[in-house]
Structure 1
């Protein structure tokens, strides 16, 4: 079993030596199994383990017992333990989302808050092979595309799923064979929830009546779809970069080359374009994308306005996706030079100079290793899809997710200056630098960038 988890960790490059792994510990079989196995290999991988438990405030005494069990288990294993009580249903009501989504947001918010106490961290969650099968069936029933059939990812940003290849039967056998205790969530056996119905009724019936190896067949499907979806995404991004121009936050698609594309690539190009503006599509994304594809065949002047934040208009040989959210945005796009740089859009000055050492330190001043920079330095507004490798992390993170984690108000996000070289983002002005360009003991030449706001000459 240990070799299986090590193989998964290695294949998906989940953990680096020196990482702190925050294990989401519910007290159930899956998370207890994950905690034990990671603890067994921590010396071999040269990692630190901590556990984190969230009491969602919905199961009363049962939830409290899970919390107490998780704390005792962690203490017994000499693993640092963190816990928090949250009001999942209250959060869901306040934000107009499902309780399931609220729980997910609150859990990861807590895990990431813990992560800030450590220089490099990963969040390990205990999704297993059966969870993968159930998720695919749920998506099919609700309606999904190729990306949905690609299933739960092994990694996403700092989140890792080391036991995604291991079945629930194997997990429980391992725990019971080794006398390892865990708690049962009685709600897992209630058929009021869609996932429980799939697990307790649908899958057993399919295995009994149609295919005893049904789960294996689904996992094979997921593996194939994931690889083919990755390929289509790469091809679609390449096409997108050739036929799309972005001007003042609006996206212009050349209709002639677009019309010659295969429908599968057309849909993905439109999805990429829409997500550059709105990040996440609301409602029936398939119908929205189909509407835009169909519009590309209409004459000039035709338009659709059924996508929140976007108007799509045919203008002669272009299809224009107009960003309705940027009308009041102060546009910043400037190549910086050594010395004083005026940024008139937000009445600020940026001073860039070479220095011998780090002296002044505040959130408006940043220092960079010149040998780690590529070409010119630019400052601009954020773009959807932007990513940074924040200091203290090894993996990249979407700027959108970074802003959410740091609780930056939506109204302020477009005001934050994004500093880049010709390859990557190096600094979110006033917030966080990139790990890739930080000054260290081997630095020979230091670039200092300072922001002076509300500057009056």
Structure 2
């Protein structure tokens, strides 16, 4: 195993490695191999450990175990923790996905702090590979979901990806490797555990003892087909994707209507993955998104931490953000008051003490809101449509209300008033 690892590092000229170590047998075997190699060849290794705060404190003990092992080996140890289950609830995603997102955010922070180029080594093995593909099939996936993980995917490396769990356990036994046993791996709570403990043994015993070979062969075929498909989809995307950044993607609805549902889903799946992850999206989820394209409604569908809706002529996919205006903000007028709300900077300066008793609130819009334009009342909803304000962003505009009268809407509407000086601007301007 060590010799294969040495060849791998030399092939990609890898010198600096951050090892993701949980304390389980896979990561401890990986650590042992890299540690022994560091005595033979010129490589730098460090340890990163993320504590998911699970299993009634057992994860704390696992982190202490890894920390002590790092000290024993004389290796730099990076540590962070986060409540996986709470993050899952807050972001409406599965616990598995929450854990993955939290630890990779930490790993990336460590990598970005390095002056030299570092690789992140993950201890995925061949069994993990098969489990992942089966899990995607069960949840519902496109051809891209059948692709296996890659051994090399800068800055990620998976040096044990072609090694079976049985081989890893044998190495640990033969080399007296200490590791912690996560007993929750044997509890059939999570889908992956059910696949590992129930489905795969059944498939091997009753249907195909070489099921791993069959699944990996399917995965290789899917990878070849995806390369051809992606070239075609990129041509389509150039016509369909209107704009995108790290928070939002806008797709031309008229162009989407000219292609098949399969093509629509593949393009949407790709854009979802660029923003967040399509890990937890099922066929039913994609069907719900397709309904938005043909709907006349501008209602917003929220799935797995993303928001989907129609805005004018575009289908919008964006990261769903917390709204600081869910509860209205009451302001006590001072000589000067500054707030930052939903990336808006609001400066309030009173003119005279006579107005310090006014009832001033900052809130999000609500049904029935009206504003005054040219001495006439107009529905706020109609005004925002005229201004082409995105339907999702309308709820993030701070509405400034004085004595139940709207005197300002974000930075797009301001009524003359004798109450105070008000300046609203976007924080990035």
Q: TM-score normalized by structure 2?
A: 0.61
- The corresponding residue for 2:91 is 95
> Which of 67, 77, 81 is residue 81 of structure 1 equivalent to?
77
- The corresponding residue for 2:336 is none
Structure 2 distance, partners of 1:72, 1:28, is 14
Deviations 1:13-60 (A, max 9, x none): 5xx4443x2111111110011112223344777431111222222224
Asked if the contact 1:189/1:196 (under 8 Å) is kept, the reply is yes
Q: Does 1:143 align with 2:140?
A: yes
- 3-state SS in 2 of match to 1:36: helix
Q: Does 1:237 align with 2:234?
A: yes
Q: Does 1:194 align with 2:191?
A: yes
Structure 2 distance, partners of 1:196, 1:322, is 36
The offset of 1:184, in angstroms, is: 1.3
Aligned ranges 1:299-448 → 2 under 5 Å: 308-311=307-310, 320-323=313-316
Aligned CA distance change for structure 1 residues 265 and 23 (closer, same or farther; 3 Å): same
Structure 1 distance, partners of 2:272, 2:176, is 52
Structure 2 distance, partners of 1:184, 1:280, is 29
Aligned CA distance change for structure 1 residues 178 and 324 (closer, same or farther; 3 Å): closer
Aligned CA distance change for structure 1 residues 156 and 312 (closer, same or farther; 3 Å): farther
Aligned ranges 1:49-198 → 2 under 5 Å: 49-119=45-115, 120-156=117-153, 158-198=155-195
Query: Can you give the 5+ residue segments of structure 1 that lack an aligned partner in the other structure?
Result: 296-300, 314-319, 326-410, 412-452
- The corresponding residue for 2:44 is 48
The offset of 1:83, in angstroms, is: 2.3
- The corresponding residue for 2:266 is 268
Asked if the contact 1:29/1:183 (under 8 Å) is kept, the reply is yes
Q: TM-score normalized by structure 1?
A: 0.57
Q: Which has the larger radius of gyration?
A: 2
Structure 1 distance, partners of 2:64, 2:273, is 42
Structure 2 distance, partners of 1:148, 1:286, is 14
The offset of 1:212, in angstroms, is: 0.9
The offset of 1:211, in angstroms, is: 1.0
> Which of 201, 205, 214 is residue 202 of structure 2 equivalent to?
205
Aligned residues: 311
The offset of 1:177, in angstroms, is: 1.3
Deviations 1:185-231 (A, max 9, x none): 11111223322222112211211111111112112212221222132
Structure 2 distance, partners of 1:95, 1:247, is 25
Aligned CA distance change for structure 1 residues 148 and 196 (closer, same or farther; 3 Å): same
The offset of 1:75, in angstroms, is: 2.3
- 3-state SS in 2 of match to 1:38: helix
The offset of 1:240, in angstroms, is: 3.2
Q: CA RMSD in A?
A: 3.8
